[in-house]
Amino acid sequence: MKNFGIAESLSKLGIKKSNSGTSTGQRWLKTKAGSIPSVSPVDGKVIGKVQLTDDVAFDKVVKQAQHAFLEWRLVPAPKRGEVVRQVGLALRKYKEPLGKLVSYEMGKSYQEGLGEVQEMIDICDFAVGLSRQLHGLTMHSERPYHRMYEQYHPLGVVGVISAFNFPVAVWAWNSMLAWVCGDVCIWKPSEKTPLCSIACQNIVNEVFKKNRVPEGVSCIVNGDYKIGQRLAANENISLVSATGSVRMGKAVGKTVAERLGRALLELGGNNAIIISEHANLEMSIRGALFGAVGTAGQRCTSTRRLIIHESVYNEVKEKLKKAYSQLSIGNPLDEANHVGPLIDTLAVKSYRSALQQVKAEGGSMVVAGGVLKGKGYESGCYVKPAIAEVKNHFEIVQHETFAPILYLIKYKTLEEAIAYQNGVKQGLSSALMTTRMNEMEKFLSHNGSDCGIANVNIGTSGAEIGGAFGGEKETGGGRESGSDAWKVYMRRQTNTINFGDSLPLAQGIKFEL
């Protein structure tokens, strides 16, 4: 199989055959917990091994992060922003090799890998500007010669738990904002994509060393769910930002809540596009196609359901069948391919199980799925994107399957379509395709989409850095990235200043002295 420059990319990023998975910054710690292999779903080969974080190393990381916070929070925010600006420049320098590693270790297309690194660069740019805008409010006091205002202070140590599908961008969304806010970060990456974390730490280390950033501002711990549990339970970690499954999020949220800590949860999605009878069907098909098969259906914003008006249902179905017949499935580093592999054989098993359940519940296949075998598919992780006709209430439709399976659902009225859209436990991303303004407004109104993201005439997949990203219901309620998402990484404080010569007491109480 063609190498596509993987060896060169690994070398540029400092990835070795055996790597420490625990870091306080410049220092990589040795542990006694063994190691895990990083296996590429592209070809089934072991890329490298990563040493797991043991209890002793974990405690050292937390202690170093606490120490670093005391120093880092005193650095003026614009100067912290300058460091992040340089991180953005470094990411531009390493964009191609890091994008290639993301593609090879995770399985998404090389174009998407480059796009993910670009998201990192974009959030750096956003954070730099933010470093001069960490503003509070001023309020009028009811007492004479008093002034009230509120301000935001650095929160502390932030734990970041990221998922395999965006192995670098989600960490950047959290860490870049946390750093300009004056926080320090401990990153627990997915055990399925550990080498991406090593590469990112190496890139950041270059910048931090040059700027004499305190050891412990950027830390990494590697391991399975048990390391995530330790992050969630540790009282020295002020905020835990966790991205992943609903099951994982509920466990993290419960543990953090028990110690009255803060949790930012970005969990599952069961996203739908409503295609109105007044929609531009060419745009609709394009949005549905990318949303359903991009990243092989392994985005939290992937399009799972297509809710189509009965008058255009058959036309949309036929256009989709034609579009799916033109998909090229194979090595994601080959830019001629549209769809790469699933992350591992467990994901393939989940995909096959979902297709079986569709048939068991009475659904019918529009585009049959299946696991691909033979030359180029030796890893066993390549599957065919599938389309099924279903009812919204089917049990399998109510759950998120991280695979390229698109469900078609027919509707009569927009109210019915919105009810279908909202009729699942997840509430991340949604979209309406229409050219009618009244339909747009209904979809975006109080009794419209109940998701954290509601789009018109674009798909469910993807999001711009400038907007807050996140969802409602079982998606967790968290918000990352743009808008005022920075506030979750800080603690709010209300201040009152009396610049008069007397002390008026609340409720008119008087003391005779």
Structure tokens at 129: 């500007």
Report the phi/psi class of residue 125: left, alpha or beta, with left for phi > 0 and alpha for psi in -120 to 50: alpha
What is the spatial distance between Cα 406 and Cα 78, in angstroms, rounded to a whole number?
Answer: 46
Distance of CA 211 to the CA centre of its chain: 28
Residue of 294, 277, 322 whose CA lies nearest to 416 = 277
What is the spatial distance between Cα 196 and Cα 101, in angstroms, rounded to a whole number?
Answer: 7
Structure tokens at 332: 């994601």
- Which member of 215, 266, 400, 439 is catalytic? 266
Does the active-site annotation cover 196? no
Q: How far apart are the first and last CA of the chain?
A: 90
- The stretches of 131-238 forming alpha helices (DSSP H) are 169-180, 194-210, 225-233
Contacts of 254 (CB under 8 A, 6+ apart): none
Residue of 263, 201, 195, 278 whose CA lies nearest to 233 = 263
Structure tokens at 272: 């739908």
- Asked if residue 261 lies in contact with residue 156, where contact means CB atoms within 8 angstroms, the answer is no
- Asked if residue 275 lies in contact with residue 433, where contact means CB atoms within 8 angstroms, the answer is yes
- Which member of 124, 181, 219, 300 is catalytic? 300
Structure tokens at 91: 């990411």
What is the spatial distance between Cα 49 and Cα 60, in angstroms, rounded to a whole number?
Answer: 22
Contacts of 377 (CB under 8 A, 6+ apart): 330
Cα angle for residues 265, 299, 470 (degrees, 5° grid)? 30
* φ, ψ dihedrals at 4, nearest 5°: 60, 25
DSSP states of 216-232: TSEEE---SHHHHHHHH
What is the spatial distance between Cα 475 and Cα 242, in angstroms, rounded to a whole number?
Answer: 11
Q: What DSSP designation does 505 have?
A: P
Around 368, how many Cα atoms within 13 Å sit in the side-chain half-sphere? 3
Structure tokens at 312: 């255009």
Contacts of 52 (CB under 8 A, 6+ apart): 21, 31, 33, 34, 35, 36, 222, 223
Does the active-site annotation cover 361? no
What is the spatial distance between Cα 424 and Cα 398, in angstroms, rounded to a whole number?
Answer: 6
Residues with catalytic function: 266, 300
